[in-house]
Structure 1
Amino acid sequence: MGRVEGVAVLVMEMQRGVVGDLTKFPDLRAACERHDVVPNTARLLTAARAAAIPVVHCTAAFRADRAGSHTANCPFIVSLLKDPAHMLEGTPAVEVLPELRDPGDLESRRHHGFSPFTGTSLDMTLRSLGVSTVVATGVSLNLGIPGLALEAVNLGYRVTVVTDAVAGIPEDYARAVLWNTISLLATRATAADLAGTWK
């Protein structure tokens, strides 16, 4: 398979403590299961790696002392951090799902906010790789995926969102986001469509 230039896959928060065996969000995990988000993502990542497309896991974590994290500027984060053990750096909860990991993948870790570019080295990493188009997978369609798409567009990237490799809850709202918000920011494609174009 030939090399595909200028593209990277961004995998948003597909972590054990978010949608895996250690989740604190069972409804989100159930939505992923109903829509085969993990197997669809795994198939897409296999095709990307075979085409020498970089895979970047955009992960979230908190330090135990919360240094580097704004902890009171957002109601959702305030709620999350009532659990002092939530998504702590160095714990199994922040690990990428094992079925999505590969030794050659990259990781971009953030300690605040909901989207992967602000305050991280992700933009510089992508530019150093010659990336102009990002392909977004993961969770959630409530915050993370729209934030990723909007930030990427503002930074000059083209964006594709993989419609069968993303999820959010409630599911009717997630579908509305895909059709009414994501459609204004990004192209949409299925994992099979993209894997086929990368052969």
Structure 2
Amino acid sequence: MGRVAVLVMEMQRGVVGDLTKFPDLVDACSRHDVLGNAGRVLGAARRAGLPVVHCTAAFRPDRAGSHAGNCPFIVSLLKDPAHMLEGTAAMEVVPGLRDGGDLESRRYHGFSPFTGTSLDTTLRSLGVSDVVALGVSLNLGIPGLALEAVNLGYRVTVVTDAVAGIPEEYARAVMKHTVSLLATRTTAAGLVEAWK
């Protein structure tokens, strides 16, 4: 295994935190201690000197760069003109998951963190060849992250107890039938032990 970076997908206050529009996703995260497991992985990664990159999503007030009409889910989100606006509290990473040395890669369109962002360039500049993915959701973001990373030549590991999706039966099916074809799967405890 080469140099590892941890990619934290959309663990933002407006997605899985106190300002969410997705209460079912927050409930799924709570049932499986996703935030707690994510925090343990991030702490172990930082102690091991591994880069942590928060992959965040945002909209500009004028929607520039967001391809606002090309996807039914985005169209539904944008019915609320204040949803996930740049510079608002909803954009912030959930308290307790962000550290001063962490990096951020923000996107204004789509569902995965590589296309149209500098994430690939950032990772390559750090000598990263392997990425560990955690966050939300197993519906779109995590499979998109894994697929793009594999297409770019990275080896991918998904932290099975630090991800969530809804409905939960579907999330389990995505993990079994999609993620397993793209990525190694491990638990937070397994990574914490490996990175001691």
Q: What's 1:133 paired with?
A: 130
User: Do the aligned residues in 1 keep the contact of 2:2 with 2:130 (CA within 8 Å)?
Assistant: no
C-alpha deviation, 1:139, in angstroms: 0.2
Q: What's 2:90 paired with?
A: 93
Q: What's 1:180 paired with?
A: 177
What letter is aligned with 2:122? T
Q: Is 2:4 the counterpart of 1:16?
A: no
Q: Is 2:151 the counterpart of 1:149?
A: no
Q: What's 2:195 paired with?
A: 198
Q: What's 2:30 paired with?
A: 33
User: What do you get for the CA RMSD once the two structures are aligned?
Assistant: 0.8
Per-residue deviation, residues 43-83 of structure 1 (Å, max 9, x unmatched): 00000000000000000000000011100000000000000
What letter is aligned with 1:193? G
Normalising to structure 2: TM-score of the pair? Answer: 0.99
Cα distance in 2, alignment partners of residues 27 and 178 from structure 1:
18
Gaps of 5+ in 2: none
Cα distance in 1, alignment partners of residues 165 and 53 from structure 2:
20
Cα distance in 2, alignment partners of residues 174 and 94 from structure 1:
24
Q: Alignment partner of 1:22: what SS?
A: coil
C-alpha deviation, 1:98, in angstroms: 1.1
Q: Alignment partner of 2:128: what SS?
A: coil
Q: Is 2:26 the counterpart of 1:6?
A: no
Q: What's 2:68 paired with?
A: 71
Q: Alignment partner of 1:132: what SS?
A: strand
What letter is aligned with 1:20? G
Cα distance in 1, alignment partners of residues 80 and 187 from structure 2:
36
What letter is aligned with 1:97? V
Q: Percent identity?
A: 81
C-alpha deviation, 1:5, in angstroms: 5.7
Normalising to structure 1: TM-score of the pair? Answer: 0.97
* Runs of 4+ with deviation above 2 angstroms: none
